Structure 1
Amino acid sequence: MSGAAAGGPAAGSAPAPDRSAGDRDRPSVAPRLGRNRDYRLLWTGQVVSEAGFSTTMIAFPLLVLALTGSAAQSGLVVGAVAIAQLVAGLPAGALVDRWPRKLVMLGCEAVQAVAAVGLVLALWWGTAGVGLLVVVAVVMGVCRALFEPAEEASLPRLVADAQVPAAVAMNAARTSAGQLSGTALGGFLFALGRLVPFAFDVLAHVFAFVSLVFVRLPGRPAPAGRAPAHLGREILEGLRWVWQQPRLRVTVFCVVSLNLFFSAYYLVIIVLANERGVPSGEIGVMAAMLGAGGILGSLAAPYLHRKLSPYLLIAGVFWALTLLTPLAVFVHSGYLMGVLFAVIAFLPPAANTTISTYQLLFTPDHLRGRLGGVLGVTGGLAAALGPALGGWLVDALPGPAAVLTCAAAIALVTLLTTCSGTLRGFPAATQARELDPATERNP
């Protein structure tokens, strides 16, 4: 990696990739994030939308079991959301870079509301079947594949550069809060009636749609006189962009490996707690404390992001996880395990904030949707493979050995992260816009 890339553009190099007309129109200094009307509207709408989605994800398997009694078909419906999101991820990222991003987000909320209305009516008329549930699940997955990169790509246009870390962290807190509230609501609403959680989902998407209508998102500059390329070539362009930038490659590796091994670790711990006779109520507390730790960590992330250098923050989080994860072998109380979960979950949001801020500010606007698509697919694969890896470890090894295997994998990633010259030269997020990707070199 050249010194110019680490500190700023080389003499005579092209200007930073993202200083487009649309970005220049956006103020570089703005009031506090809480006073940013447009971000506040987006955030509020999406925390409700996330709660509706999580409520549906709890209600889906309960509904399938009530209709068919088949656990396998329950898994099919729930899995259809993740599969659709993965399959649509890369094309969705390319389409987000083609289409107006606010319209993409509005369309996704509207389509999900219509799909949920159809399911509510089918349940009211007594005609709902597994096939309809799969269709609704696929619609949800495709809409999330489109919405998430559209929102992420819009963030640097909605807030000032200095607000991006706080916005990224608040979005993470929003997701955790929505998941926690939706998970708690799902079972309760289903007990009131089979269609009630899906009716709540309709209201959640309508609320998010209305909130989005009033968001003022600065327009993007028109493409410089060339027709859109073939969709496949645009997808490859996005993949090449991520692969050719060393810092993007390394940060994607950090996030994916952490998601993979921690997903496996989480399942191993749940199984180990069950084997040790921890009551199901305490296991529920463990899961809740994991979510609470994530919310608190997201709230603290902007402060840690400001106080620590990117390399120290990212490497420090990995070292802390390496030291904390083996402790589960010695913990037999569900409540104490919940405390350990909360501490572990508190740490990653700070590193994720630093990584995501750099990725957004460094990537040119016309590639941000494809960046989001790549990150969504790689993160989704890690989240899907992690539990499978955890299940295999539980079957192959005694519980404590499975825990230590996951901890050893995290330790290996920690060593690679610590020794990475690319990460040691990682710039502050505020410098990301000043870097010229043409000066980036493979280490």
Structure 2
Amino acid sequence: MAGVLQALRIRDFRLMWGGSLISSLGSWLLILAVPAHVFQVTGSLRDTGLTLAAQYLPLLVLGPVAGVFTDRWDRRMLMIATSLFRAAAVTAMLLGTSPGRYWVLDAALIAENAGGVLYVPAARARTPAIVGTGSLLSSASSLNAFAGGIMQLIGGPVGGILLTLYGVRWLICADALSYLISAAANVLTSRTGGPHVGRAASISGVASDLVEGTRILRGQPVARALLPVTVIFLAANASLSAVLIPFGVQRLGGTGHTGFLLSCLGAGVLLSAPVLRVLLDRARIRNLLAASLTVTAAAYFLLFTSSSLATALPAAVAVGMFGTVSEVAPQTAIQRVIPNGVLGRVSAVFVTGEAAAALTGAVVGPFLAQAVHLSGIAAVASLVTLGAAALAFRIVPRRPAIMAVPSTAIDTQS
């Protein structure tokens, strides 16, 4: 466990990680509350799926351009500004919790995630600039997985309990506050932590930067291979995520049991942290990704064909653990092989692909579930994930050239 915590020696990373931990808690409170609230009121899988789909539209539309701004602007200031914007967007959700006003809720979700379009590639690019691309980056990736697991572990049950006791409006306020705390944590970080050009954005300049980022992505064999594998896997994952809350409510006995299901997913993510810390530095990305995707596919099928907590909860742990490995391993590989000056653009391409996959899955999943039932969509998603595993083993290079760049921030920020 000491190896997992290694990156926390760096002050800027401690602050970034702590702010993300708190904002993730606020977000996880709403992950259960918002779709559960909509489903309980409308009883519609379609409306629930569309609420989830609204979260991905900004990433799909704005993602590539956001990557250009991430590489042009001060990433620290960008993370502060977007956290404040997201706090305001979440607050606006208070106006959309009544029947007939869910369009306001969807609009606020779109605005909140528009801020995330800039925040996510900025955070991904700033992390290796602070900790380097060696073993400390593996530690940082493991810590991020650990934080995600903790939030899933407590966020689901706490969100379900608070939704029952206080209603969705209280949870919305808590999420807005968490974004404000995240902004404050980033304010306390140093003004260094990665190159930024600081140029004014013009149409021709943005287009030129997009072309350059695409050229670098196409010229890097590892990044080029990981993009389609990631997109395929996340499409399958999103199709099941879109029906997870209705599955828990209908099959497992209500929001309380659904909270336990989310907790087990979080426990799996938590267990992935020490595994990632070891495997990211030792296993070849091709073998690691193919194996983790294969196990994830089997766990998907077991989970969504379960009719009791006795089988659903262990399957959820496996999905959380191996699904996290399947998601984090490509991200870490990209942070290592792509130069930091263009990492924002390349990360944004991946974020856009992830959003396209998630949007497709979120829309298709509920409709497919209504047509072929939950067991049918479980079979389809499992087969698609197995296809991603085979593709990873086929096209990802056996011996990728990954050069570890040591952190320059350890001595000055610890």
Question: TM (normalized to structure 1)?
Answer: 0.75
Could you tell me how far apart the structure 2 residues matched to 1:114 and 1:245 are? 39
Query: CA separation of 1:186/1:225 partners in 2, compared to 1, >3 Å: closer, same or farther?
Result: closer
**Match of residue 250 from structure 1:** 225
Q: Does 1:138 align with 2:110?
A: yes
Query: Of the candidates 64, 68, 71, which is equivalent to residue 90 of structure 1?
Result: 64
The answer (yes or no) to whether the contact 2:242–2:365 under 8 Å persists in 1 is: yes
Could you tell me how far apart the structure 1 residues matched to 2:205 and 2:273 are? 39
User: SS at 1:426's partner residue?
Assistant: coil
Could you tell me how far apart the structure 1 residues matched to 2:88 and 2:162 are? 20
**Match of residue 410 from structure 2:** none
**Match of residue 412 from structure 2:** none
Query: Of the candidates 107, 130, 151, which is equivalent to residue 178 of structure 1?
Result: 151
Q: Does 1:218 align with 2:192?
A: yes
Query: CA separation of 1:181/1:239 partners in 2, compared to 1, >3 Å: closer, same or farther?
Result: farther
Question: Any residues of structure 2 matched to 1:6-17 within 5 Å, and which?
Answer: none
**Match of residue 397 from structure 2:** 423
Query: Of the candidates 382, 385, 389, which is equivalent to residue 410 of structure 1?
Result: 385
- Which deviates more from structure 2 when the two are superposed, residues 246-255 or residues 174-183? 174-183
> Which digits, 9 at most, give the CA deviation of each residue in 1:3-49, with x for residues without a partner?
xxxxxxxxxxxxxxxxxxxxxxxxxxxx9313222211111111111
Could you tell me how far apart the structure 1 residues matched to 2:51 and 2:292 are? 35
- Which deviates more from structure 2 when the two are superposed, residues 184-193 or residues 285-294? 184-193
Query: CA separation of 1:424/1:116 partners in 2, compared to 1, >3 Å: closer, same or farther?
Result: closer
Q: Which has the larger radius of gyration?
A: 1
The answer (yes or no) to whether the contact 1:283–1:334 under 8 Å persists in 2 is: no
Could you tell me how far apart the structure 2 residues matched to 1:49 and 1:146 are? 16
Could you tell me how far apart the structure 2 residues matched to 1:202 and 1:213 are? 17
Could you tell me how far apart the structure 2 residues matched to 1:86 and 1:256 are? 12
Could you tell me how far apart the structure 2 residues matched to 1:273 and 1:186 are? 14
Could you tell me how far apart the structure 1 residues matched to 2:362 and 2:87 are? 30
Could you tell me how far apart the structure 2 residues matched to 1:366 and 1:94 are? 10
Give the superposition deviation at 1:135: 4.6
Give the superposition deviation at 1:97: 0.9
Give the superposition deviation at 1:76: 6.0
User: SS at 2:54's partner residue?
Assistant: helix
The answer (yes or no) to whether the contact 2:196–2:341 under 8 Å persists in 1 is: no
Question: Any residues of structure 2 matched to 1:195-206 within 5 Å, and which?
Answer: 195-206=169-180
Q: Does 1:350 align with 2:325?
A: yes
Give the superposition deviation at 1:78: 5.2
The answer (yes or no) to whether the contact 1:362–1:433 under 8 Å persists in 2 is: no
**Match of residue 37 from structure 1:** 11
Give the superposition deviation at 1:332: 4.7
> Which digits, 9 at most, give the CA deviation of each residue in 1:310-347, with x for residues without a partner?
33322222333355555558855332222022123212
Q: Which amino acid aligns with 2:56?
A: A
Query: CA separation of 1:393/1:423 partners in 2, compared to 1, >3 Å: closer, same or farther?
Result: farther
Give the superposition deviation at 1:99: 0.6
Give the superposition deviation at 1:379: 0.8
The answer (yes or no) to whether the contact 1:268–1:402 under 8 Å persists in 2 is: no
> Which digits, 9 at most, give the CA deviation of each residue in 1:71-101, with x for residues without a partner?
6877666543322232222211111111100
The answer (yes or no) to whether the contact 2:15–2:189 under 8 Å persists in 1 is: yes
Could you tell me how far apart the structure 2 residues matched to 1:32 and 1:110 are? 29
Query: Of the candidates 290, 308, 312, which is equivalent to residue 283 of structure 2?
Result: 308
Alignment coverage as a number of residue pairs: 396
The answer (yes or no) to whether the contact 1:238–1:371 under 8 Å persists in 2 is: yes
Give the superposition deviation at 1:424: 1.5
**Match of residue 23 from structure 1:** none
The answer (yes or no) to whether the contact 1:263–1:390 under 8 Å persists in 2 is: yes
**Match of residue 169 from structure 1:** 142
Could you tell me how far apart the structure 1 residues matched to 2:24 and 2:114 are? 15
Q: Does 1:101 align with 2:96?
A: no
In structure 1, the gaps of 5 or more residues are 1-30, 435-443
Give the superposition deviation at 1:239: 3.0
Could you tell me how far apart the structure 1 residues matched to 2:65 and 2:201 are? 17
**Match of residue 290 from structure 1:** 265
User: SS at 1:347's partner residue?
Assistant: helix
Query: CA separation of 1:74/1:256 partners in 2, compared to 1, >3 Å: closer, same or farther?
Result: closer
Could you tell me how far apart the structure 1 residues matched to 2:209 and 2:66 are? 11
Q: Does 1:238 align with 2:210?
A: no
The answer (yes or no) to whether the contact 1:96–1:104 under 8 Å persists in 2 is: yes
Q: Which amino acid aligns with 2:124?
A: E
- The sequence identity of aligned pairs, in percent, is 22
- Which deviates more from structure 2 when the two are superposed, residues 140-149 or residues 171-180? 171-180
- Which deviates more from structure 2 when the two are superposed, residues 387-396 or residues 237-246? 387-396
> Which digits, 9 at most, give the CA deviation of each residue in 1:286-309, with x for residues without a partner?
333122212211342112223423
The answer (yes or no) to whether the contact 1:168–1:353 under 8 Å persists in 2 is: yes
Could you tell me how far apart the structure 1 residues matched to 2:91 and 2:248 are? 40
Question: TM (normalized to structure 2)?
Answer: 0.80
